Amino acid sequence: MRKIREVLRLHYELGCTHREIHASTGLSKRSVSDYLKRASAAGLTWESARNLDDAELEARVFKQVGRNEPPARIPIDFEWVHRELRKTGVTLQTLWIDYQEGAQLCNSSQRPYQYSQFCDLCSAWKSPADWYGGPVLDWHSFVDRADSVAMIDRTRLAESWSTALEVIPPIGLLSYLKGLALETQSTVVFYSCSMWGGDVEREYAWIFGDTELALVGLQSETPGGPRPVAILEPSEPTRVVTGDVLVSTLRHLSLALPAPFFAPHTRAFPWGKYNLARRPA
């Protein structure tokens, strides 16, 4: 979060100079000057700013100064557009007409997109399935299979880094993945990573194959230091080693990754070779 509120407080309430604000906040002099210019253009004082929450304050200050805001447009349902385009005889023009008629019926103050804008936006839109080259599987659509039950308890995985069970794959999906590994006599992996501001917040993997294990990335005790990885195996105590969840996981798929942040994070990576294209029966 930018230090907008503190800059306004120091300037308007305490009467600090730009140099003093720079020394107090650690912001560059240019940023201090820019914040105050924007606040002035937005008609903000400390009295009005202190009653706004952070999101409202930032929205007011960081509007385009000296420019008119573009008119709000009625949003396009891109998934609907691409679904309809698969039907015989449907074109972007017919869908744009439907979109225009819908816009009139909703009686909104927002304006619909013109035909050329509509076509450009629909052509540029990519669904998650388009990005990774295959169907996206909804993990809640899987049912538990009695013939392939995951041996590592989901609760154990959640407790290893104090998270909620909701972010762990449901039993049905784990059962399906294990069954797939047994049927194909190959290794099947579920990998999940959440990042914020370039830092990994949560990372884990579930590996099914000759053996079953789960890898969980733990927080490093020192900022920037090596991250511990918890290794969970059935009927074995949890082990903690130094390593990387992604590198270790891909090693089970015979993929050597030179560094943790590498090819799988780019669009050029051949996901099709490793894509789980099958759907549950």
Any domain includes 47: yes
Please tell me whether residues 227 and 102 are part of one structural domain. no
pLDDT confidence of residue 268? 60
Please tell me whether residues 143 and 266 are part of one structural domain. yes
Any domain includes 45: yes
Please tell me whether residues 149 and 261 are part of one structural domain. yes
Q: How confident is the model at residue 136 (pLDDT cuts 50, 70, 90)?
A: low
Please tell me whether residues 162 and 95 are part of one structural domain. no
pLDDT confidence of residue 219? 79
For 180-205, what is each residue's pLDDT tens digit?
Answer: 888 888 899 998 888 765 667 788 99
To the question of pTM greater than 0.75 for the whole model, the response is no
Please tell me whether residues 223 and 156 are part of one structural domain. yes
Task: Using the structure block, give the residue that is written with the tokens 């759907």.
Answer: 279
Any domain includes 157: yes
pLDDT confidence of residue 208? 92
Cα–Cα–Cα angle for 75, 78, 81, rounded to 5 degrees: 115
Cβ distance 97 to 81 under 8 Å? no
For 150-176, what is each residue's pLDDT tens digit?
Answer: 788 888 877 876 766 777 888 888 888
Question: Mean pLDDT of all residues in the chain?
Answer: 76
pLDDT confidence of residue 225? 65
Please tell me whether residues 189 and 215 are part of one structural domain. yes
Query: What range defines the domain where residue 34 resides?
Result: 4-61
Please tell me whether residues 216 and 259 are part of one structural domain. yes
**Number of domains, the chain:** 3
For 16-73, what is each residue's pLDDT tens digit?
Answer: 888 888 777 777 777 788 888 888 877 877 778 777 777 777 777 776 444 444 567 8
SS (H, E, C) the chain: CCCHHHHHHHHHHCCCCHHHHHHHHCCCHHHHHHHHHHHHHCCCCHHHHCCCCHHHHHHHHCCCCCCCCCCCECCCCHHHHHHHCCCCCCCHHHHHHHHHHHHHHHCCCCECCCHHHHHHHHHHCCCHHHHHCCCCCCHHHCCCCCCCCCCCCHHHHHHHCCCCHHHCCCHHHHHHHHHHHHHHCCCEEEEEEEEECCEEEEEEEEEECCCEEEEEECCCCCCCCCCEEEEECCCCCCEEEECCHHHHHHHCCCCCCCCCCCHHHCCCCCHHHCCCCCCCC
In this prediction, residues 244-264 reach a mean pLDDT of 75
> Residue 193 is encoded by which pair of tokens?
């990573």
Please tell me whether residues 228 and 111 are part of one structural domain. no
pLDDT confidence of residue 69? 47
Any domain includes 68: no
Amino acid at 229: V
For 72-108, what is each residue's pLDDT tens digit?
Answer: 788 888 888 888 888 888 888 899 999 988 888 877 7
Please tell me whether residues 94 and 211 are part of one structural domain. no
Q: Which residue has the higher pLDDT, 137 or 41?
A: 41
Note the Cα 102 to chain centre separation in Å. 31
Closest by Cα among 110, 40, 36, 33 to 69: 110
Any domain includes 269: yes
Please tell me whether residues 153 and 42 are part of one structural domain. no
